Structure 1
């Protein structure tokens, strides 16, 4: 451990698998105590056990960020056992897709409630304590679809555009109180959960200037940077981590 986050308490929502799990492991590798929040006990307990095996103080927290009461209860548990959170990473999110003309509005509501309102709830509940202390770091998760459009992803794109604007507003509103709010926007990241759409892997790889799909660990460095003292003068920004996809003008 290089100790950059020694003595820091980090909460990662959506930390039970994929990118969130890798982010939790990344903070643990630099000395942080890590609270892992996800919807299922099996996931959070597995990741917390993995962290504890490496010597990290880890806390599993079962919580659905779409439920305001559960978020409040999670805050009680985390602060009661860990103390105030220094870093909040909002990695919890849902993905779904389908033809926009027929997309189920209740499914869209569930997605927006998790991706946008869930992020806002966690920012509010844990951010209030940061504001009172005049110090804290929040890193939200956007997407390429915060900036651009893919067919049949209307609700998901709307949710991630919402996270972008939420990050901007909180970033400028809370900066005077010493709380930095920023975001990362992952590109085409390969995770264990199958993508619902069939993908042409060769065409996809050709479209990425870096020449490969991203990996969850490609997000750990950017997230830790935004959560570090090195990013004290960065507010309301979204860092795109996509191997150059968004800037690439050649098809």
Structure 2
């Protein structure tokens, strides 16, 4: 047997580019007609894409964020496309605002069927000098905010014996990047929260799952790339699919987990990263 020399896998997969056009795929099916969906963090980026995707499949959509102007724009965009949509101002770290959001959605359409917890914040820096205020904001929004949303919406869903919750974890729920101690810990909490609620509420008609996006290209640069601590070309070379993800790559996973097609799935986190986490070659 001849010896194997050189790298077992390339550092860059050829014929792949961030500029490759997304496959539009088949026309949307109306899997969510008559369903009410609440999307936190829906004012921009992946959250906006999630809201649009549910609307295309017939859902009534409440777009929630602490930034009123952003969710007003997205809700107007949905209504202009013919969807039934409303904007709700909500800071997910405030239990009072979360309760008000549940009431507002229920008053308009009845008890919500689906909750997508996309609201989140990001921060990075040397772990030994992480600012206490920054760390508290990370945990209050990413971890506590997800818990409060799950609790308040979950109570209504449990009363109906029906509901689907999709949380947003992260690659850092599974692995470690330097200078992201507080962020990684907050997203690790989301992973475990999803597991606990997924098994605790399974017999009561409520499924709880999560997605963990990888390096997704959105309208604003990733903070680490903007700060110069990450090189975008190196990131792309590290992704087996040879490109950064698009918001639409994540929405398919969210819609699947919220749909009847995932009726026997709960407590799971679906990684959407182009193969990053599985790829062990550096």
TM-score normalized with structure 2 length:
0.88
Q: In the alignment, does 2:193 pair up with 1:162?
A: no
Match of 1:236 among 249, 263, 267: 267
Q: Which runs of 4+ in 1 moved over 4 A?
A: none
Match of 1:204 among 216, 221, 235: 235
Secondary structure, aligned partner of 1:151:
coil
Shift of 1:68: 1.1
1:201, 1:77 → 2: CA distance? 41
Aligned to 1:135: 162
Matches within 5 A, 1:41-52: 41-52=68-79
Secondary structure, aligned partner of 2:223:
coil
Matches within 5 A, 1:4-23: 4-23=31-50
1:82, 1:16 → 2: CA distance? 21
Deviations 1:113-150 (CA, angstroms, capped at 9, x unpaired): 10011001010111101101111000000000000000
Secondary structure, aligned partner of 1:34:
strand
Q: In the alignment, does 2:29 pair up with 1:2?
A: yes
2:246, 2:133 → 1: CA distance? 31
Aligned to 1:192: 219
| Structure 2 unmatched ranges of 5 or more | 1-27
Shift of 1:239: 0.2
Number of corresponding residues: 251
Aligned to 2:253: 222
Deviations 1:197-226 (CA, angstroms, capped at 9, x unpaired): 223122111100000001111111100000
Aligned to 2:12: none
2:103, 2:111 → 1: CA distance? 10
Aligned to 1:86: 113
Greater Rg by CA: 2
Deviations 1:33-53 (CA, angstroms, capped at 9, x unpaired): 000000111111100000001
Shift of 1:83: 1.2
Q: In the alignment, does 2:64 pair up with 1:37?
A: yes
Secondary structure, aligned partner of 1:137:
strand
Select between 179-188 and 191-200 the one with higher mean Cα deviation.
Answer: 191-200
TM-score normalized with structure 1 length:
0.98
